[in-house]
Chains A and B, each alone.
Chain A
Amino acid sequence: MIRLYSPSFSLSPSRASDDPLQQTYDAIVVGSGATGGWAAKQLAEAGLKVALLEAGRAVSPSEFTEHMPAYKLKYRDHSPEVARTRPVQKQCYACMEYNYEWFVNDLENPYSTPAGKPFTWQRLRILGGRSLVWGRQSYRLSDTDFKAASRDGYGDDWPFSYADLAPYYDIVEKYVGITGAAEGDPMLPDGQFLPPMKMSCGEILMRERVKAQFGHTVTIGRAAVLTQVHNGRAACHYCGPCERGCSTFSYFSSPFTTVKDALKSGNCTLITNAVVSHIDMDNATNKARSVTFVDRLTRQTKEVRGKSVILCAQALESTRILLNSSTREYPNGLANSSGTLGRYLMDHVVGGGAGGRLPELKVPPSANEPQRPNGIYVARFRNTPTSAKHPRFIRGYGFQGGADVDFNLGAEGYGTSFKKAVKEGFYQIGLGAFGESLARWDNFIEIDPSLKDAWGIPALRINMTHGENEAALMEDAAATAAEMLEATGAKDIKVQANVEMPGMAIHELGTARMGADPKKSVLTPFNQTHDVKNVFVMDGASFVSSACQNPTLTMMAITVRACANLIDRFHKNDV
């Protein structure tokens, strides 16, 4: 049952002071990305006084560059400034000469990794965080994911089931606007979809032939991009590069949706350039009383007081704040009586798949085609309730991919024949897997005792490797992708069975897991820390297992569910 709250309801009377740091807020939300935006919106619209802290600056549509051709860039995306200041961030395709200032400066935001265990950590510190540049793919998890441990004996179940989360998926999808097609595949529960985007000829061939030969579901991607006017935002105009901003706000990003709503409520105070250092405890009551942050620009240390603290800073950042909030009572990190804080770090394994050409489709390429910001998706088909148990691995993977004609910039030869061959193009088809990353105790983050960021805040040491199960998933994905391409009629098929370095999927999950047992988990099933009643973590840190679906939709649904519970507690004076 979902309760609706009156926006006019107010729990804390407003103070006369204009100084945002002289007030005591009902809730301090740390982070303004996909989940922080939702937390601020839900709580502020319910009448709570909210302080929304963002480590970066505000963002304006005037800095969107999605309609700027590459030839207007001095280095046409080979800028030495990106290589100099963002050597880690530029490992992500979305960090480019257009927009690199949205990504953190790696020189100011260091982290360490042990020798031989690289991890790439992609971060944005700006209003909206990674929701400005995310891939927008939005899939529900199913009970095969939430109850995976009960089926195969590995790890732990989530402390709730699909039925508990489904109403919150509905709320998020209806607000965000998810384009997609219902398929009735139990591995990929259907949701509240806007009309699906169309498939290309090659994708339809793949859908039909793969269904006929293997029974797998090939569907159009489910994406947080509008295909019709929705909640005051226009439909996508198919210009292509969403990660550079959208002047019609047609893809979901928090500054222009949830954060905007939170501010409109009159109950939310946005504090930008607030680099949070730690949570301050009142030891007498065992409750958090404030959050200390460093002003990003002046480097002054400041404090904001609140009745509750909600960390939505991104999985690793939220846990870093808890680890940096140790007290005498919590010497190994705040809310870490279980010893699991920082443990069970996950990131989907990528690197398995296949690509080829579809010579039967002879379509000339065009520079004047709509650019669909979406691909196709193949639902997980390994280790499902109806398939045989795979002998070499547990869990499974889904594929993202696509098929379309493109200019053949790699044509052979040179001269007039090369120039002509480029324009003749070729029809390409490809699939890349995202596999489940098992929750393992020995994948963890900790504070590096000798490393601090530019604001003097102790930085993380990230310890993660993918294991044998992940490698087996990618090996299998290469083979099954090749089979599906072959069935579609592809030629010149090339497979990849790599295990890319952890972090590459940019789906970091875990490190403050939920659970019913306080001895084995950090958070309750409603994202409240077991140890400190008024501290919450509402982001990917709370995941118990990674499943293989892109996680942001689930993070948002979990946040809305947790906020509904928190609002209830405020009403019962139980925070």
Chain B
Amino acid sequence: MKRRELLRAGAVAGAVAALRPTLAAPQTAAKSPELTPAQSGVDASQELSAANWKPLFLDEHQNETLIILSDLIIPATDTPGAKEALVNRFIDLVLAAETHDRRRSFLDSLAYLDGEGMRRYKAAFRYLKRDEQDDLLHSLAYPRAGSNWTGEGAAPDIGHGHFEKLKQQIAGAYYSSQIGQRELGWDGNFAHGPYQGCEHPEGSHK
């Protein structure tokens, strides 16, 4: 938020206006190449919604698989889901800039879903019926416990590991998007101060 916008925010307007004379910096920075895009005021939030968008890294099958998976993990309810938040496009952008190892790791996890789809239902994940996809994800979504009978610990849970990796990427992309921020109820303002802390009577924090 620019200072002008901040001035509009009622909560701090008085304080900021009172301070105006001191807002001048000791030196005014000339237009400098040594600023991050954010420091230069670049707003990149619309870049992913371009009409002619094409994946930078994922192939068509991987991209379609990711769209379906993200929609299952964070579906549209009374609020938009991961598909509407263009989670696949953001993940593609990040992967395009990632190290070889991290890209490989993501693709391995995505391919694991196809492998399990083939093993169980003879088709890659994106071609499964909705209830098959759901069954497959349910079998991966929760960590396996050890044996209640012998007391032995659980074997390494490879499927759950792949699921968690994909889910974390999808959830991170969704909740950092504008749609995701709205989903969490953000009202678009940056200042909600001052911090009031606990206001319960002594001995009661319910």
In the bound complex, what is the Cα–Cα distance between A66 and B45 (angstroms)? 17
Interface flags for A289-310 (1: CB within 8 Å of B; 0: not) read 0000000000000000000000
In the bound complex, what is the Cα–Cα distance between A62 and B37 (angstroms)? 13
- Name B138-190 residues within 8 Å CB distance of A: 141-142, 167, 171-173, 175-178, 180-181, 183-187, 189-190
CB distance from A370 to the nearest CB of B (A): 4
CB–CB A422/B175 < 8 A: yes
CB–CB A60/B28 < 8 A: yes
CB–CB A75/B39 < 8 A: no
A419 interface contact, C-beta 8 A:
yes
Contact of B44 among A74, A239, A414 (CB under 8 A): A74
CB–CB A409/B27 < 8 A: no
Interface flags for A435-467 (1: CB within 8 Å of B; 0: not) read 000000000000000000000000000000000
CB–CB A69/B141 < 8 A: no
In the bound complex, what is the Cα–Cα distance between A391 and B184 (angstroms)? 50
Known contacts being A67-B1, A67-B6, A415-B73, is A229 close to B198, with CB within 8 Å? no
Looking at B38, B72, B90, B167, the one whose CB has the most chain A CB atoms below 10 A away is B38
CB–CB B191/A74 < 8 A: no
A107 interface contact, C-beta 8 A:
no
In the bound complex, what is the Cα–Cα distance between A419 and B40 (angstroms)? 35
CB distance from B137 to the nearest CB of A (A): 6
CB distance from A280 to the nearest CB of B (A): 27
Residue numbers in B under 8 Å from A93 (CB-CB): none
Smallest Cβ-Cβ distance to B77: which chain A residue: A416
CB–CB B28/A232 < 8 A: no
CB distance from A218 to the nearest CB of B (A): 14
CB distance from A81 to the nearest CB of B (A): 8
Residue numbers in A under 8 Å from B35 (CB-CB): 63, 101
- Name A22-70 residues within 8 Å CB distance of B: 57-70
Stretch of A198-206, A326-334, A346-354, A556-564 that contacts chain B: A198-206
Known contacts being A69-B181, A368-B185, is A239 close to B190, with CB within 8 Å? yes
CB–CB A414/B1 < 8 A: no
Residue numbers in A under 8 Å from B18 (CB-CB): 229, 234
CB distance from B79 to the nearest CB of A (A): 8
CB distance from A201 to the nearest CB of B (A): 4
Residue numbers in B under 8 Å from A80 (CB-CB): 97-98
In the bound complex, what is the Cα–Cα distance between A413 and B37 (angstroms)? 36
Known contacts being A256-B25, A409-B175, A413-B141, is A97 close to B38, with CB within 8 Å? yes
CB–CB A366/B94 < 8 A: no
In the bound complex, what is the Cα–Cα distance between A76 and B177 (angstroms)? 9
CB–CB A127/B186 < 8 A: no
In the bound complex, what is the Cα–Cα distance between A197 and B198 (angstroms)? 11
CB–CB A234/B16 < 8 A: yes
| Range, interface on chain B | 35 or more
Residue numbers in B under 8 Å from A160 (CB-CB): none
CB–CB A59/B175 < 8 A: no
CB–CB A233/B39 < 8 A: no
Contact of A255 among B26, B190, B193, B200 (CB under 8 A): B26
Contact of A236 among B173, B175, B194 (CB under 8 A): B194
CB–CB A414/B94 < 8 A: no
CB distance from B35 to the nearest CB of A (A): 6
- Name A95-134 residues within 8 Å CB distance of B: 97-101, 127
CB distance from B201 to the nearest CB of A (A): 11
CB distance from A350 to the nearest CB of B (A): 25
Looking at A247, A361, A366, A413, the one whose CB has the most chain B CB atoms below 10 A away is A247
Residue numbers in B under 8 Å from A72 (CB-CB): 38, 42-45
Residue numbers in A under 8 Å from B141 (CB-CB): 412-414
CB distance from B186 to the nearest CB of A (A): 4
Smallest Cβ-Cβ distance to B11: which chain A residue: A237
In the bound complex, what is the Cα–Cα distance between A71 and B181 (angstroms)? 9
CB–CB A199/B194 < 8 A: no
A472 interface contact, C-beta 8 A:
no
Residue numbers in A under 8 Å from B36 (CB-CB): 65, 97-101
Smallest Cβ-Cβ distance to A414: which chain B residue: B73
Interface flags for B48-83 (1: CB within 8 Å of A; 0: not) read 000000000000000000000000111101000100
CB distance from A289 to the nearest CB of B (A): 28
A418 interface contact, C-beta 8 A:
yes
Known contacts being A71-B45, A74-B93, A201-B198, is A368 close to B189, with CB within 8 Å? yes
In the bound complex, what is the Cα–Cα distance between A197 and B180 (angstroms)? 30
CB–CB A61/B23 < 8 A: yes
CB–CB B72/A74 < 8 A: no
A73 interface contact, C-beta 8 A:
yes
CB–CB B29/A57 < 8 A: yes
CB–CB B195/A98 < 8 A: no
In the bound complex, what is the Cα–Cα distance between A208 and B11 (angstroms)? 32
Known contacts being A78-B97, A413-B141, is A204 close to B25, with CB within 8 Å? no
Smallest Cβ-Cβ distance to B29: which chain A residue: A60
CB–CB A263/B198 < 8 A: no
A162 interface contact, C-beta 8 A:
no
B119 interface contact, C-beta 8 A:
no
Residue numbers in A under 8 Å from B29 (CB-CB): 57-60, 62-63
In the bound complex, what is the Cα–Cα distance between A57 and B6 (angstroms)? 26
B100 interface contact, C-beta 8 A:
no
CB–CB A76/B192 < 8 A: no
- Name A357-387 residues within 8 Å CB distance of B: 360-362, 365-372
Residue numbers in A under 8 Å from B77 (CB-CB): 416, 419
Residue numbers in A under 8 Å from B19 (CB-CB): 232-234, 248-249
CB–CB A74/B27 < 8 A: no
A423 interface contact, C-beta 8 A:
yes
CB–CB A370/B185 < 8 A: no
Residue numbers in B under 8 Å from A367 (CB-CB): 181, 184-187
List 7 A-B residue pairs with CB atoms under 8 Å apart, sorted by A's residue number: A71-B45, A71-B176, A73-B37, A97-B38, A98-B38, A227-B194, A234-B15
11 A-B pairs besides A67-B190, A368-B187, A423-B185 with CB distance below 8 A are: A63-B40, A97-B36, A101-B35, A127-B27, A197-B195, A200-B198, A229-B15, A248-B16, A272-B27, A370-B194, A419-B75
Q: Lowest 6 A-B CB distances belong to which pairs?
A: A198-B197, A238-B193, A67-B1, A80-B97, A58-B27, A60-B29
Residues of A within 8 A of B (CB): 57-76, 78-80, 97-101, 127, 197-205, 227, 229, 232-239, 247-249, 255-256, 259-260, 263, 270, 272, 360-362, 365-372, 407, 409, 412-416, 418-419, 422-423
